[in-house]
C-alpha cells in the first residue's frame, strides 16, 4: 500500500518542475513512510511514497522497464493478491523478473497485455503508467474502488494522486467548491456521486475503469461492471459456495512480509474474517491471530441501546477473542481523546467526514500501527449481503430517494431558503437518483419485490459503499496502516448480488446466508448477534464539549458557511429539543456534520465559486 502522485503536461517541460512534483509526492508521505521516488521526463512526472508490505528489499518505485529503447514507468498503490500466479504466467511468456514484488507483476502485465492487464489483476489497486514511446498515461483503479485515485484536467494536461492533497500541492489546482460540490455535501451527505471529487474540477476515476490520456484527449474504459443473471444453485450449494469463496479470499489476503492483524468488533462480519484468518494462519504455521478492538472508558455506565446499536461490542469481543485464543488488545478511549482530532481526520480525508466516528477510528488505527502494518477488516459485508435496515424497512419516501437518506438527520434542513435555491438541492439529488436507477442491471421477469431489492443493493454498492471504503482507507493510511477488505471481492459480489433475497435472508435473519455459511466458525452468541454500528461515544462530557463548540459557532459570524446556513433555525431547533426534554439527539448529529464542513472549509481555505 502506498501513495502515488503525478502530472502530465503537453506544453510545460516537467524536467524543470522537480520542486512542484516533489511537493506533490511529499504530500503522500503518510501513505508511504518507508521510501520515496520521483521520475521525470519532459512530458510526465511520476511520484511515489512506499509502505513496504511485500518484498521489502525490492519493489522500489516508480519502477521502469525498457521497451524499444523507451521507458515504461509505473507508480502503483495497493495489492494484487494473485501476483504469484500471474508471475508464472508472465515467465512462461518470456518475461524476466528482478524482484519478488507484485509491483513488477503489474508493470510486466502491462507490457504483455497492455491496457487490458487490469482484467487479470485480483486485488485492490490504483496505478499510473507512463508509456514514453506512445506518449500516453494510463490510470487504472480496482473494481470496487478500494484504493482511491483522483485526477483533475488542466489547460495543458492532467494532475493525479491518491488523495486530493496531492493535487492541491500543485499551483495549477486550487480549493474551490461550486453549487454542485455543495449539493454533494448537503444533499447526498452519507453517499456520494460516483466519480465526484467535491472540489471544483476534481474527479475520482470510477471503480472498474481505466483512463488513457494522450495529447489529443482522454479515453475512459469500463473493464468491469456488476451484472445480473439467474441464480441456479439451491440453498445447500449456495451456502457451501459462499463459504468456499470466503475461505479462498481470506487465505489469499494473508500474504504479507510484515506483521498482520485483524479488526475485531464482535459483530458477525469482523468475527467471520478473523475466524477464517485464524484457520489460514494455523494452516501456514504462523501462530494465533492478533486482534484489536476499540471502546470507550465507562461505556457500560452510559450505553443506551438503539435500533442502530442494540448491543455493546465488548462482551462479544471478549467471547470471540477467547474462542480464537487471539493475542487481543482493547484500545480504550476517553471523550477527551477525541478533542482536537479534527485536524488529523480532516487532514487525512481532505473532505468533511464523520466527526467523532472518524476520530475514534483514527486513534484505533494509530495504536494498531505501533504493532502491525496490515489489518483485515469486515468492511463491505453489509453492502454485499444486504445487512442495512433499509433492505428490510422500506418507508414510502425511500422509494423516491437514496434509501439511507431517510435514516439520518437531514443536514440540508439547516440551509437557508436562498442557499437551497442557489444550489438547486432537491433537483440535484433527484437527478442523481434517477441516474443511479438507470444504471441498475435489472433481471428480466423479476418480481417487483426482488426488483426493488436489486435496486437497493446496487444503490448501496455504487453510492454508499465507496464512501465507507474511502473513509477506512484514508483514516488508516494517515498513520501508514494498510487495511484489507476480503468481503469486497468482485467474484464474491457477482455471486451474492444474484442470490434471491429469500435465500440471502434464510432463517429470517439479516445476512442469513452469511450466517449459515459460517456458523460453525463462531460462538452461537456471535453468530446470531444483530448488526450493531461502530462504537460511538455516549458520555455526557462529550455532548457538553460538542454543545460548547456549536454555541461558539453560532456566535461566530466569520464562518465560511455564514451565507449558507440558517442560524436562527438551528438555534430554535436546539431550544425546542431542550425544552421538550429529549436532549438534542437530532441536532447533535446535524451539529457534527455542520462543524465538519465548517472545519474543512477553514482548514483548506475553500472558496465558494
Q: Among the options 2, 12, 30, 365, which is catalytic?
A: 2
The cell numbers describing 289, all together, are: 491471530
CA distance 226 to 441: 7
Instruction: Tell how strand 290-296 and strand 260-263 pair up.
Output: parallel
Q: How far is CA 391 from CA 17, 61, 384, 396, 430, in A?
A: 52, 44, 12, 13, 20
Cβ-based neighbour number of residue 337 at 10 Å: 17
- In 3D, which of 166, 147, 152 has the Cα closest to residue 46? 166
2-9 and 157-161 strand pairing: antiparallel
CA–CA distances in Å: residue 43 to residues 64, 115, 130, 135, 206: 16, 20, 10, 8, 25
| Other beta carbons less than 10 A from residue 600's beta carbon | 22
Q: Among 152, 160, 168, which Cα is nearest to 201's?
A: 152
d(CA 22, CA 45): 9
Strand partners, 603: none
Whole-angstrom distance, CA of residue 271 vs CA of residue 269: 5
Residue 2: active-site member: yes
Contact between residue 452 and residue 394 where contact means Cβ atoms under 8 Å apart = yes
Q: In angstroms, rounded to a whole number, what is the distance separating the alpha carbons of residues 253 and 377?
A: 11
Cis peptide before 62 (omega within 30 of 0): yes
- Which residue numbers are catalytic? 2
Amino acid at each position: 500500500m502506498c501513495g502515488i502522485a503525478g502530472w502530465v503536461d503537453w506544453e510545460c517541460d516537467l524536467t524543470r518542475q522537480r520542486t512542484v512534483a516533489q511537493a506533490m509526492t511529499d504530500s503522500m508521505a503518510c501513505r508511504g513512510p518507508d521510501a520515496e521516488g520521483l521520475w521525470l521526463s519532459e512530458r510526465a512526472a511520476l511520484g511515489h511514497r512506499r509502505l513496504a508490505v511485500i518484498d521489502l528489499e525490492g519493489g522500489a518505485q516508480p519502477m521502469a522497464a525498457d521497451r524499444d529503447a523507451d521507458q515504461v514507468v509505473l507508480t502503483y498503490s495497493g495489492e494484487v493478491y494473485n501476483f504469484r500466479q500471474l508471475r508464472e504466467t508472465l515467465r512462461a511468456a518470456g518475461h524476466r523478473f528482478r524482484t519478488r514484488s507484485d509491483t513488477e507483476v503489474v508493470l510486466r502485465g502491462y507490457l504483455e497485455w497492455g491496457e487490458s492487464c487490469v482484467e487479470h489483476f485480483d486485488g485492490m489497486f490504483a496505478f499510473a503508467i507512463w508509456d514514453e514511446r506512445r506518449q500516453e498515461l494510463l490510470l487504472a483503479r480496482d473494481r470496487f474502488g478500494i484504493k482511491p485515485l483522483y485526477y483533475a484536467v488542466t489547460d495543458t494536461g492532467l494532475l493525479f494522486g491518491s488523495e486530493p492533497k496531492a493535487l492541491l500541492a500543485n499551483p495549477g489546482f486550487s480549493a474551490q467548491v461550486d453549487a454542485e460540490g455543495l449539493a454533494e455535501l448537503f444533499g447526498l451527505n452519507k453517499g456520494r456521486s460516483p466519480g465526484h471529487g467535491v472540489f471544483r474540477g476534481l474527479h475520482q476515476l470510477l471503480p472498474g475503469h481505466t483512463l488513457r490520456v494522450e495529447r489529443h484527449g482522454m479515453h475512459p474504459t469500463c473493464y468491469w461492471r456488476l451484472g445480473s443473471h439467474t441464480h441456479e444453485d439451491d440453498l445447500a450449494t449456495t451456502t457451501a459456495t459462499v463459504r468456499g469463496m470466503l475461505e479462498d479470499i481470506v487465505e489469499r489476503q494473508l500474504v504479507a512480509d510484515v506483521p498482520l492483524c485483524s479488526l475485531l468488533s464482535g459483530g458477525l462480519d469482523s468475527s467471520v474474517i478473523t475466524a477464517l484468518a485464524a484457520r489460514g494462519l494455523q494452516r501456514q504455521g504462523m501462530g494465533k491471530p492478533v486482534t484489536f478492538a476499540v471502546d470507550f472508558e465507562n461505556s457500560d455506565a452510559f450505553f443506551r441501546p438503539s435500533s442502530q446499536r442494540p448491543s455493546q461490542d465488548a462482551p462479544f469481543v471478549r467471547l470471540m477473542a477467547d474462542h480464537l485464543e487471539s493475542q487481543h488488545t482493547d484500545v480504550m478511549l476517553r471523550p477527551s481523546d477525541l478533542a482536537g482530532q479534527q485536524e488529523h481526520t480532516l487532514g487525512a480525508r481532505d473532505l468533511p467526514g464523520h466527526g467523532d466516528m472518524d476520530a475514534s477510528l483514527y486513534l484505533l488505527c494509530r495504536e494498531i500501527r505501533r504493532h502491525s502494518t496490515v489489518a483485515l477488516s469486515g468492511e463491505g459485508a453489509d453492502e454485499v449481503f444486504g445487512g442495512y435496515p433499509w433492505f428490510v424497512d422500506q418507508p414510502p419516501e425511500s422509494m423516491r430517494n437514496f434509501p439511507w437518506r431517510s435514516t439520518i438527520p437531514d443536514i440540508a434542513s439547516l440551509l437557508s431558503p436562498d442557499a437551497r435555491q442557489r444550489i438547486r438541492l432537491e433537483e440535484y439529488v433527484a437527478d442523481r437518483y434517477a441516474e443511479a436507477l438507470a444504471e441498475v442491471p435489472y433481471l428480466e421477469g423479476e418480481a417487483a419485490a426482488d426488483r426493488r431489492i436489486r435496486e437497493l443493493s446496487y444503490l448501496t454498492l455504487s453510492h454508499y459503499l465507496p464512501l465507507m471504503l474511502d473513509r477506512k482507507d484514508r483514516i488508516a493510511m494517515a498513520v501508514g496502516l494498510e487495511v484489507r477488505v476480503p468481503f469486497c471481492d468482485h467474484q464474491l459480489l457477482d455471486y451474492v448480488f444474484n442470490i434471491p433475497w429469500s435465500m440471502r435472508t434464510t432463517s429470517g435473519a439479516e445476512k442469513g446466508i452469511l450466517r449459515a455459511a459460517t456458523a460453525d466458525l463462531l460462538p452461537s452468541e456471535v453468530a446470531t448477534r444483530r448488526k450493531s454500528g461502530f462504537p460511538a461515544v455516549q458520555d455526557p462530557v462529550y455532548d457538553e464539549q460538542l454543545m460548547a463548540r456549536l454555541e461558539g459557532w453560532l456566535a461566530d459570524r466569520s464562518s465560511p458557511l455564514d451565507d449558507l446556513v440558517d442560524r436562527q433555525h438551528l438555534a430554535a431547533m436546539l431550544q425546542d429539543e431542550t425544552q421538550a426534554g429529549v436532549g438534542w439527539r437530532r441536532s447533535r448529529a446535524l451539529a457534527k456534520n455542520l462543524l465538519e464542513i465548517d472545519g474543512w472549509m477553514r482548514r483548506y481555505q475553500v472558496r465558494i465559486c
